[in-house]
């Protein structure tokens, strides 16, 4: 039986029940990676130790309790994996193996997951492209287009069916943008839910999962957040009390339990006030008409599902410049301490721009505080969830953007992916859900945003949207 292409929930249940060995699952996925990744370039490194680690999972005394038993997981190459170097997409970083796992990686391993490889990203995670010194990540839907960024390889690996779930992070849209480009789900948790990256961009960046289904995304988020109740949030937009039969959680306290959701269960209806903004960008920034139509389609789907749906307007004009200034300021900090001669032209240019703006007092900090303290809440109004496009245009070509300068990179990023960054500026949870196919043949993702604590609402709505608009694999990557 082929286990590649199955959901994480199906795989974990089969391994727990003895239907298949974790080693067999991982071996099959490594074979799929070997066959498919030359076309995609998702992985910087495939881990030879994965098979031994799968055998170790199979021998664990708590195998029957592991929520991710034997599930192959890809990890973005800016998160520490013990025994592997963390290159962050750059030749200027140290190649010394990490002494230990990042806390999110440790939680995945504790839950029974097996890290099969480290995924590519643009240098230092600075842009919404997938090229670096280690290769160019290509979109599984169209090899001539970028997979987005900066969690490029993680999104492409899930979309191409090389892993069921992956781990990435999001500093200015770096989960949602590649998720939308590649037609998979990805969620940026709100501040404080999941341990952040070692360099969290001064609180802008959050670690989060990517998956092909809302149920798998909920399960991954529950493990990363050490919150078992989130595993079933996709069913009805709330943290669920576990139901029998109940399994002891490997991350919970002694009085906590976790129950894996069955793989084929319809989400429970619930009622939210959903706002939709087909064109949230300030005047002068265009938005693809098909992306606007997808937002309206998602809103109508949720209206039919029983939610109250209202239209919303454009984001404030001052927020865009503040977001760009904040991005460039973080670029200058990310490059500090690295040998500039080994950095790409793009990274040097972004860092110089950030330094210059900071010297002039334009580092975005004032606008971020304004949006974070009261602006976002005031603009959001009384909605529970907001729907917007993730992208403003289809993904640009999968070129070697790192060899280009400041103006071309900034313009390309702002023109195609300007709608994600505001929600990093305020630290609110946000996600992408694939809902349609563009006339170009590429997928269309819509962005769902909620106030702090709204992750269950996002997951519940994602499940309803997926039920009405089922996932389609990229051509040539189905099973």
3-state secondary structure of 361: coil
Give the whole-angstrom CA distance, residue 109 versus residue 107. Answer: 5
Give the whole-angstrom CA distance, residue 34 versus residue 56. Answer: 23
| Beta-carbon count within 10 A of 125 CB | 31
Give the whole-angstrom CA distance, residue 405 versus residue 237. Answer: 44
Residue 174 designated active-site: yes
| Angle at which helices 289-304 and 455-468 cross, to 10° | 100
Set 90, 132, 150, 151: catalytic member: 150
Q: Where are the alpha helices (DSSP H) in 272-344?
A: 289-304, 319-335
Give the whole-angstrom CA distance, residue 208 versus residue 248. Answer: 24
End-to-end CA distance of the chain: 12
Set 7, 76, 188, 205: catalytic member: 76
The dihedral over CA atoms of 315, 366, 204, 399, expressed in degrees to the nearest 10, equals: 70
Residue 76 designated active-site: yes
* Contact (CB, 8 A) for 184 and 210: yes
Residue 7 designated active-site: no
Give the whole-angstrom CA distance, residue 230 versus residue 107. Answer: 15
Set 90, 132, 174, 332: catalytic member: 174
User: Which tokens sit at 248?
Assistant: 């002891």
Report the catalytic residues. Answer: 76, 150, 174
């Amino acid at each position: 039986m082929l286990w590649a292409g199955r959901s994480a929930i199906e795989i974990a249940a089969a391994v727990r029940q003895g239907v298949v060995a974790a080693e067999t699952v991982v071996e099959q996925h490594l074979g799929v990676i070997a066959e498919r990744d030359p076309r995609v370039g998702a992985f910087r490194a495939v881990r030879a130790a994965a098979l031994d680690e799968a055998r170790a999972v199979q021998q664990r005394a708590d195998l029957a309790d592991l929520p991710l038993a034997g599930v192959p997981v890809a990890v973005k190459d800016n998160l520490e994996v013990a025994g592997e170097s963390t290159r962050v997409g750059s030749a200027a970083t140290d190649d010394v193996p990490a002494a230990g796992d990042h806390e999110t990686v440790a939680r995945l391993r504790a839950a029974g997951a097996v890290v099969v490889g480290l995924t590519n990203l643009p240098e230092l995670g600075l842009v919404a492209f997938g090229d670096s010194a280690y290769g160019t990540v290509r979109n599984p839907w169209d090899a001539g287009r970028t997979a987005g960024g900066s969690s490029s390889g993680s999104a492409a690996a899930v979309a191409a069916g090389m892993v069921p779930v992956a781990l990435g992070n999001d500093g200015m849209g770096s989960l949602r943008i590649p998720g939308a480009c590649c037609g998979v789900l990805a969620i940026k948790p709100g501040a404080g839910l999941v341990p952040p990256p070692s360099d969290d961009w001064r609180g802008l960046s959050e670690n989060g999962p990517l998956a092909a289904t809302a149920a798998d995304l909920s399960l991954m988020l529950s493990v990363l957040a050490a919150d078992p109740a989130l595993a079933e949030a996709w069913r009805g937009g709330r943290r669920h009390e576990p139901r029998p039969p109940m399994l002891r959680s490997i991350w919970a306290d002694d009085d906590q339990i976790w129950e894996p959701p069955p793989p084929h269960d319809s989400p429970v209806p619930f009622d939210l006030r959903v706002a939709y903004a087909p064109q949230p960008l300030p005047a002068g920034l265009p938005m693809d008409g098909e992306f606007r139509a997808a937002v309206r389609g998602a809103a109508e789907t949720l209206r039919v599902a029983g939610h109250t749906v209202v239209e919303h307007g454009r984001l404030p004009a001052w927020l865009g410049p503040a977001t760009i200034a904040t991005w460039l300021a973080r670029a200058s900090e990310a490059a500090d301490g690295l040998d500039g001669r080994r950095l790409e032209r793009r990274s040097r240019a972004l860092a110089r721009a950030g330094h210059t703006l900071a010297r002039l007092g334009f580092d975005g900090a004032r606008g971020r505080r304004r949006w974070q303290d009261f602006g976002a809440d005031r603009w959001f109004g009384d909605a529970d969830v907001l729907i917007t496009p993730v992208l403003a245009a289809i993904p640009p070509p999968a070129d070697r953007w790192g060899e280009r300068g400041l103006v071309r990179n900034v313009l390309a990023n702002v023109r195609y992916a300007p709608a994600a960054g505001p929600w990093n500026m305020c630290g609110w949870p946000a996600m992408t859900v694939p809902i349609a196919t563009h006339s170009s043949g590429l997928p269309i993702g819509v962005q769902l945003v909620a106030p702090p604590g709204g992750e269950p609402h996002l997951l519940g709505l994602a499940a309803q949207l997926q039920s009405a608009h089922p996932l389609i694999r990229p051509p040539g990557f189905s099973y």
